[in-house]
Amino acid sequence: MSSIRRIEVEKTISREQLQMAARNHGMPLEALAYPITPLGLHYLLIHYDIPVVDAAAWRLVVDGEVERPLELSLDELRARPSVEIAATMECAGNGRVGLSPHVDSQPWLHEAVGTGAWRGVRLRELLDAAGVGVGAVEVLFTGLDRGLEDEVEQSYQRSLSLEDARRDEVLLAFELNGVPLAPQHGFPLRLLVPGWYGMTSVKWLAHVTVLAHPFEGFQMAKRYRLQQDEEDEGMPLTRMAPRALAVPPGIPDFHSRERFLEPGPIVLRGRAWSGFARIASVEVSVDGGETWRAAELEHDVDSEWAWSAWTVDWEAPLGRHELCFRARDEAGNEQPPEGEWNVGGYGNNAVQRIVVNVS
Amino acid sequence: MSSIRRIEVEKTISREQLQMAARNHGMPLEALAYPITPLGLHYLLIHYDIPVVDAAAWRLVVDGEVERPLELSLDELRARPSVEIAATMECAGNGRVGLSPHVDSQPWLHEAVGTGAWRGVRLRELLDAAGVGVGAVEVLFTGLDRGLEDEVEQSYQRSLSLEDARRDEVLLAFELNGVPLAPQHGFPLRLLVPGWYGMTSVKWLAHVTVLAHPFEGFQMAKRYRLQQDEEDEGMPLTRMAPRALAVPPGIPDFHSRERFLEPGPIVLRGRAWSGFARIASVEVSVDGGETWRAAELEHDVDSEWAWSAWTVDWEAPLGRHELCFRARDEAGNEQPPEGEWNVGGYGNNAVQRIVVNVS
């Protein structure tokens, strides 16, 4: 057994971070057992408050640089041709607590992920119906959720390039797992951009605005960028970097969440995903990262945007072991042993480590 | 405007507590707007892991001090007469973070609550079908979830006196809000004891054992008791003490969660509940607890086991104000200004305080 390196994190979580953790739901990692995450187990990051929306009064407005502005009721949207896409979604801040020095925002460990079966209309078809103007470069999405950021009141807003917005898989979704969106998932309508971190998939969508210039709002210019310091303009976060996570084996201690299992054969299992390409390989180490071997991969969800399942057999010997899991995608991206610190604490896809006690 | 007393909490939340907060879901308080909590917003306290249960293979066993032991499939249970009861459920540890010194367990602020419409069969009818023996005194409930507590491996187990178990409102529930229980709510079957803190309503129920002696397991003897110190045997937690909570008014700052609103008329609203009796009154203070006035109460959920809605008009003046909310039930229980510390950090129903900035 190798020496065990626990991920060291600073111990001081502020009241502000606890308040965020109390309302933003993680997916307990045993839910990696399910190809489609059951309702209520998908992660949630709610920037402000969950709006209570009157579906009868709600309208989606599509305007800006378009020839024919649209105003659509929920019934009108649901009457249009729709598709269902299974997509894995992860928060850009997943893994934030693993970075040092500690970043003061939602304190995610590894649980900010889930896979939903989302049904909606293709955004491209609505854009075509509205007739995008020749000067258009971006599409802006405005949610009904409002709050303050750095003392400025604002609606939650994100934009996409016109090219990204017109991609085949980009939906305006009104169902999750076969039922109307729950309030916390953006009822009555949300943007869904498969492959991208979740901040892009604007919830409680009210307004789609075609722009002749790039949008420079708070959530584009000030957040969700990989910045080395506050002055660094940084690179915007877009697609999810690869990550493998395991169903924690054995049973937990209530307080420490450390894992306990009996010696003998066990199948280690989990899921892996990347927003850039299909997963090419998952490797598992049972000695803290000294040696690795390949897991069996199964693309068990019929969607190129969903995670894949992996399994590996292990003959668990007596002792305390550090298990490690890492993924590589078909575009050549792979998980690093350590995350790279950045101002916002984004994109930390460092290798997962789980300590198990075999006794 | 009075001086504002923020609830002071110790700032050091351990990694262990963060791990719990990341997997145990709170109900964001804006969801107090809903009479029945939407799926996915009800609080969750998962002691160990969420079991993945094969419903076809699962059976409920009723045995022990009975004349005719039962073994029932899910279909057999669902074929029996069932009732739906709307019930508010709260974790016994709700409010724990408000106690000082800090108690090292799941760090709940105020969000560990929800109201579900639970459908199931009455436990009493199953006990009658099995024929309870003359020496029976308690009924033990064993879930499929397993973990370690103080280094001892165990299943989650709680018991009720035979008298409590035979109460009319005690169900073995297989539906929540009109659909089969989600995994995290105890699929395929859970105990539901309306009025009691949530630890009593054993999830993933597999075994009902009628006992001729009191059960002294870990979750009865070591946890869920009001103890002054580790040597104190303490009193067991049972029914929920009264509590009023408000929908946080205005809009939040992302980071601090402080509230901001414009001056002028606003309706403050929220919900209140007690496991001992109906809510008799809710009072609101807009000056940090110096003066109070009565809110309008509405029993808008058709169930004596569900929370009640309350509203009060407020002409919000410019400034920074501390709003306070307190409930009293028809049995005469009322919320204290400060919680009483105890070893487990249970039952802290101190008055809620919300700071609002009117500008």
From first to last of the 359 residues of chain A, give the pLDDT tens digit.
Answer: 334 544 444 456 788 999 999 999 999 999 999 999 999 999 999 999 999 999 999 999 999 999 999 999 999 999 999 999 999 999 999 999 999 998 999 999 999 999 999 999 999 999 999 999 999 999 999 999 999 999 999 999 999 999 999 999 999 999 999 999 999 999 999 999 999 999 999 999 999 999 999 999 999 999 999 999 999 999 999 999 999 999 999 999 999 999 999 999 999 999 999 999 999 999 999 999 999 999 999 999 999 999 999 999 999 999 999 999 999 999 999 999 999 999 999 999 999 999 999 99
Name the H helices within chain A.
Answer: 15-23, 74-78, 123-130, 162-165, 218-221
Cα B21 from Cα B103, distance rounded (Å): 14
Q: Looking at domain B15-236, which CATH architecture does it have?
A: Alpha-Beta Complex (3.90)
Using N-to-C axis directions, what is the helix angle for A15-23 and B15-23, rounded to 10°? 30
Long-range contacts of A278-282 (CB under 8 A, 24+ apart): A278/A304, A278/A308, A278/A329, A278/A330, A279/A242, A279/A244, A279/A307, A279/A308, A279/A310, A279/A327, A279/A328, A279/A329, A279/A330, A280/A328, A280/A329, A280/A330, A281/A327, A281/A328, A282/A244, A282/A310, A282/A325, A282/A326, A282/A327, A282/A328
Select from B16, B26, B183 the Cβ nearest to the Cβ of A255.
B16
Mean pLDDT over residues B283-308, rounded?
97
* CB contact (8 A) between residue B97 and residue A147: no
DSSP state string for B106-122 = ---SS--EEEEEEEEEE
Q: Are B297 and B216 in contact (CB under 8 A)?
A: no
C-beta atoms of B48 and A109 within 8 A: no
pLDDT band at B14 (very low <50, low <70, confident <90, very high): confident
User: Given the structure tokens 């005469």, which residue do they identify?
Assistant: B332
d(CA A183, CA A198): 16
Interchain pair B39, A40: CB under 8 A:
yes
Q: Which residue's structure tokens are 């604490």?
A: A345
Residue ranges, comma separated, of all CATH 3.90.420.10 domains in chain A are: 15-236
Q: Is the pLDDT of residue B47 over 70?
A: yes
CA-only gyration radius of chain B, Å: 21
Q: With bands split at pLDDT 50, 70 and 90, how would you rate the model's confidence at B4? A: low
A84's enclosing H/E stretch is strand A83-90
Q: What is the pLDDT of residue A13?
A: 77
Selected residue of B8, B17, B18 to mutate for chain A interface (largest A Cβ count, 10 A): B18
Q: Which residues of A touch B183 (CB under 8 A)?
A: 31, 34, 38, 41
Per-residue pLDDT reduced to its tens digit, B118-146 = 999 999 999 999 999 999 999 999 999 99
What is the pLDDT at residue B7? 43
Read off the pTM: 0.96
Among B148, B203, B355, most A C-beta atoms within 10 A, so best to mutate, is B148
Output the pLDDT for position B12: 66
Q: Enumerate the β-bridge partners of residue A44.
A: none
Q: Environment class of residue B110 by beta-carbon count within 10 Å: exposed (0-12), middle (13-18) or buried (19+)?
A: buried
Find residue A116's DSSP bridge partners.
Answer: A87
What count of other Cβ atoms lies within 10 Å of the Cβ of residue A94?
A: 29
Residue A26 touches chain B, beta carbons under 8 Å: yes
Residues in Cβ contact with B231 at an 8 Å cutoff, skipping those fewer than 6 apart: none
Q: Model confidence at B351, in pLDDT bands (50, 70, 90)? A: very high
pLDDT at B13: 77
Give yes or no for B41 touching A (CB within 8 A).
yes
CA distance A40 to chain B (A): 4
Sign of CA dihedral A25, A26, A30, A33: positive
**Contact across the interface for B28 and A11, Cβ inside 8 Å:** no
First to last CA, chain B: 14
Tell whether A212 is within 8 A of chain B (Cβ).
no
| CA pair distance A303, A82, nearest whole angstrom | 16
Whether residue A18 and residue B109 make contact (CB cut-off 8 A), yes or no, is yes
Do you know the residue count of chain B? 359
Cα–Cα–Cα angle for B292, B297, B298, rounded to 5 degrees: 165
Q: What is the pLDDT of residue A11?
A: 52
CATH number of the A243-358 domain: 2.60.40.650
Residues 77-106 in A contacting B (C-alpha not used; CB under 8 Å) = 97, 104-105
User: So what's the pLDDT on residue A45?
Assistant: 98
Instruction: Residue A20: list chain B partners with CB under 8 A.
Output: 257
Cβ pair A182:B12 closer than 8 A: no
**Which residues of chain B have a CB within 8 Å of the CB of A255?**
16, 104-105, 149
Q: What is the pLDDT of residues B16-37, one digit of tens each?
A: 999 999 999 999 999 999 999 9
